[in-house]
Amino acid sequence: MSDYVISINGEMTEEANAKISVLDHGFLFGDSVYEVVRTVGGKLFAADRHLKRLHGSAGAIGMTLQQDDNWYLDLWRKLHARREGGESYLRVIITRGVGQLDLHPATCETQTVIGIGKALNRWPDEHYAHGCKVILAKVRRNPKQSTDPAIKSGNYLNNVLAIIEARKQDAVEAIMLNVKGHVTECTTSNVFIIKDGVVKTPGLDEGLLEGVTRGFILQVCSELKLPVVEGQLTEQDILDADEVFITSTTRDVMPVGFIGDHKVRRTPGTLTIRIANAYHELLHDSKNHT
């Protein structure tokens, strides 16, 4: 049996039959947006925030979603229900649709909606106990003036190049700088550092995805009364940090132990552990479940 449950345009489809047209602009040009939601206790976690971002991504590329929010909630629930046991990773991709072989989307009338569900990845426990390894990637994050990284789009080639760099060095993630040399985020996660008791993360102006988990972490820091700075971070700030951690829907709060060959001062640091525990409570708070 396949590891994936798949839906195309609302129809559950066996993996072997899950096909889209080669003239789909999502395939041809990466002209698509996507979201990844996870379940907690079988319920959708923070679905409202993911839907809000999905609308934002679509709007930013001039697309209005052709299905309403309940349709997406139903899709995610159906995908989860089709899986056997455990928590789910639920991805939805909305492409511009099938059209002529022409960059302009005028001939794309109907969006293609693809849903993919799989088991939520369990990262190795040692990444949480001792910190994972990341690198500082050579490839730069594309600037906001290009395909804005705030859009969760099907254009992930920069990130693909960065993760290839990371895996060559046995690292699980790559921190990407922008063209000014400021830290932005990782290939599929946001990055935080702690220095002298202050939590710091790149500001949205640097060009990055406004992670749902990042938002929860900022909320948690305010509840814990930890000082936070959202702003410019350099490579040196990352190397001088007392603690470093990365966040995403699939990773939660993952401490960083090594940046390339550089060992992070404290792994996992005491503040990272406090923040991770507080986030864990939010994860299990039924207020955030749909």
10 Å CB burial of residue 84 (0-12, 13-18, 19+) is: exposed
> Taking CB under 6 A as the rule, which mask of x and - marks residues 149-168 in contact with ligand PDD?
----------x---------
Q: How far is the CB of 190 from ligand PDD (least distance, A)?
A: 5
Q: Does 142 bind ligand PDD (CB under 6 A)?
A: no
Q: Does 190 bind ligand PDD (CB under 6 A)?
A: yes
Which 8-state DSSP code applies to residue 137? -
Q: Does 252 bind ligand PDD (CB under 6 A)?
A: no
Pick between residue 186 and residue 194 the one whose CB is nearest to ligand PDD.
186
Q: Rounded CA gap, 6 and 131, in Å?
A: 33
Which part of the chain contacts ligand PDD (CB under 6 A), choosing from 220-228, 232-240, 245-253, 266-274? 245-253
Q: Does 39 bind ligand PDD (CB under 6 A)?
A: no
Q: Which helix (H) or strand (E) holds 146?
A: none
Q: Does 36 bind ligand PDD (CB under 6 A)?
A: yes
Pick between residue 147 and residue 159 the one whose CB is nearest to ligand PDD.
159
Q: Does 250 bind ligand PDD (CB under 6 A)?
A: yes
* Contact criterion met (CB below 8 Å) for 118 and 3: yes
Pick between residue 92 and residue 271 the one whose CB is nearest to ligand PDD.
92
Q: Please report the DSSP string for 181-204 in residue order.
A: SBEEEESSSEEEEEETTEEEEE-G
* Contact criterion met (CB below 8 Å) for 174 and 162: yes
* Contact criterion met (CB below 8 Å) for 288 and 282: yes
Q: How far is the CB of 209 from ligand PDD (least distance, A)?
A: 4
CA 140 to chain centre: 18
Number of residues that bind ligand PDD (CB under 6 A): 15
Q: Does 212 bind ligand PDD (CB under 6 A)?
A: yes
Q: Does 178 bind ligand PDD (CB under 6 A)?
A: no
Of 273, 274, 279, give the one whose Cα is nearest residue 252.
279
* Chain residues in the site for ligand PDD (CB under 6 A): 36, 159, 185, 188-190, 209, 211-214, 247-250
